[in-house]
Amino acid sequence: MLARISKWMIVTAGLAMVVVLHSCATDDDIEEQEQERILVLRMDQDVVVPTSKIRIELGGTDRVQADAAEVSIAGEIGERAVAETFELTTVRDGEVGNLYLVLDAQALLWPRLEPGADARFRGSLEVQMRDALGIPTRGVIEDVSWHFLRELSPVIHFESPSQLFSNTAIDVEGEGVLRPEEGETVAVADTGRFYADRGHEIDLTGEVFPVEWKGDRQRGDLRMDPAVLGVHPGELEATLRFENRFDDGTTLASPVDPVEVAAEFPTAFIANVSPRKASRGQTVELDGRGFVPRDNEAGYGMLLQFEGTLTPADPALEPRTFAGESAQTRVPYQVVDDEQLLQDIWYDVIERRLEGLGAMPGTFDGSITPVLYDQYGEVEGIAWQGEFEVLPTRQMVYLKYLPAFSVALDRYGLVNVEREIRSRILDVVNRDYEGINLEFVEEPPEDFAKFATVELGGPDPTGGYAFGFDNTYNEQAKDTGNLHIDDYLGGINPETGEEFNNPYGGVFVESFARFSPTLYPEMGHASENFDAVFGPFMPELGGERIRATEWPDGDRTEAIAEVIRVFANVIGNTVSHELGHALGLAHFEGDWDSPGHIYHNTGGSGGIMDPGAERSFEQRAELDGEEASGFNARNRAYLESILPVDG
């Protein structure tokens, strides 16, 4: 256990903002204090080969913007002291994940450290950078231990199972498995044949099977590659030896004797569906064996064939039969491995009506059959038979906070209470949509293939200072009936740009500063209440940023609590408004037949979907006795009809 922990080197337990003060600081000095962000560094590599690319994760930087970092290492190789500094470019893990750095061993470590063929480095690693706010940021790993090896051969052991399936992963153990960025550990067939039940034979001599990385050099997955064996049932006989194939072209053979493999390959089957009820766009698990992904280049894959009857929950509607030529055939949403796949409750929008298994709530009674194919033809697997309930639509909404959101908070002096602001935003939007079959999340939902996304960023990309904009467009602007549940309010949408002269979507929190009469006296909707609430913290208004040390127990606790509440109310109100547009609001009775082009309430209803010019800062912020605005009766009834909680 201790050895396993040592490979996951972590410094400090969390991301913190600390205050750096000179000794004997006076009250005047405190105003010139400098904040320093302490990084959580993660690195899980101890053996370094020439093709290694060491990943250094900068934990807690999902909201930090920085283009480059300085990495310094200091220690000893043998008895020789070494100290080097490298300038590296930061990379973000996905769009909103943590930043990380890549230290290229071949380009940097080997020529600068000159470790030789077999040597150990022991010392420390420090990362320093300044983020977009100018805050110095650093982290240190004190106990780095790298074993530099010029050559690394695989030593692999495993017992051959008597039964395998196409795409099965056999657990193998030993030493010297390559990481994906270094190259590939493979098994090569010295001799072998696959005898398919349908009559064809495949000569395996010289064929290669990948050993996939599982997190450390002592284990891997030996994949029964469908590109080599195909997808048909049959029998395998082969002799396998192992090699490490490095990205620089070097190949090193295993010193271990080849392994004899003899196994039967049965027919693929589906054993279970879980859960047995889900709404459209949601994913369910199908368990079984012999599942394969689709590979158009290699010419193999798998389809799922749905046959049976879908009986609508509404007794006034006729059942739909999927059989014969009308059987529903789908490519699996995701093949996890040969034992599990995920399938979405799919739907298609055709001329403003839904088609597919998720088209309407009801019960499907029938079978799901795996149909596999390769260059030798199709093979029908063993089907699952049973009932499955299609639930009323549940709209999932992912609130996607961009790094620019945090940068914008710093303008208001609120970056140290971001978590509290985000928590309050969730409270506001959940309150606004209470009683509607809708859920807000701050991470992409794992069990939904289709969900709405709302980006929350900083400035309006158009320079027009909009508070927010729904840039979704599905053949028409108003999606009456919420036929499309995967709207993306963010990024760039050219169709919306053509229609409304604005392609950018999301919520732009920097624009709310336009409510300040001090900063923007020309704005007719500016409010003295804005300056009163934000003035103590916003540098542009002469305020002092909230320090991490003064919340929640400092002298300004009440004022901080109020600015959190007010700012989150304004942002949450904007999210609710823009999401309302994506759901088909504002709604008018004629929209059911032909969605119109009126997108806001008329007549000043006091509701969330009123025009922006009619929603004051006080209404959005819930100040001066203004109660939380909601959806008016017409819009509320529409939302309840398209997203009913009780079905």
Taking only the tens place, the pLDDT of each residue in 80-107 is: 999 999 999 999 998 889 999 999 999 9
Q: Which residues of 8-42 are buried (b: 16+ CB within 10 A; e: fewer)?
A: ebebeeebeeeeeeeeeeeeeeeeeeebebbbbbb
Q: What is the mean pLDDT of the chain?
A: 92
**Residue 229, CB-side half-sphere exposure with 13 Å CA sphere:** 30
Give the pLDDT score at 131.
86
Instruction: Work out the pLDDT band at 10, boundaries 50, 70, 90.
Output: very low
Q: What is the pTM of this model?
A: 0.87
Q: Kindly report the backbone phi and psi dihedral angles of residue 428, in degrees, each rounded to the nearest multiple of 5, phi listed first.
A: -65, -50
Q: How confident is the model at residue 647 (pLDDT cuts 50, 70, 90)?
A: low
Mind listing the pLDDT tens digit for each residue in 597-612?
A: 999 998 777 799 999 9
How many other CB atoms are found less than 10 A from the CB of residue 634? 16
Residues 285-304: what's their mean pLDDT? 97
Q: Residue 477: how many CB atoms within 10 A of its CB?
A: 19
Q: Which range is least confidently modeled, 10-14, 423-427, 485-489?
A: 10-14
**Nearest-angstrom CA–CA distance, 304 and 306:** 6
Q: What DSSP character marks residue 546?
A: P
Q: What is the pLDDT of residues 421-471, one digit of tens each?
A: 999 999 999 999 999 999 999 999 999 999 999 999 999 999 999 999 999
Q: What is the pLDDT of residues 107-118, one digit of tens each?
A: 999 999 999 999
CA separation for the pair 406, 17 (Å, rounded): 14
Assess whether pLDDT exceeds 90 at residue 499: no
Q: Is the pLDDT of residue 387 over 90?
A: yes
Q: Residue 9 above 70 pLDDT?
A: no
The sheet with strand 283-289 has its strands ordered as: 269-274, 283-289, 340-344, 334-337
Q: What percent of the chain has pLDDT over 70?
A: 94
CB contact burial 61-85 (16+ within 10 A = b; e otherwise): bbbbbbeebebebebebeeeebeee
- pLDDT tens digit sequence for 128-139: 999 887 889 999
DSSP state letter for 336: E
**pLDDT over 90 percentage in the chain:** 85
Structural domains of the chain, ranges and CATH numbers in brackets: 2-149 (2.60.40), 155-265 (2.60.40), 274-391 (2.60.40), 395-642 (3.40.390)
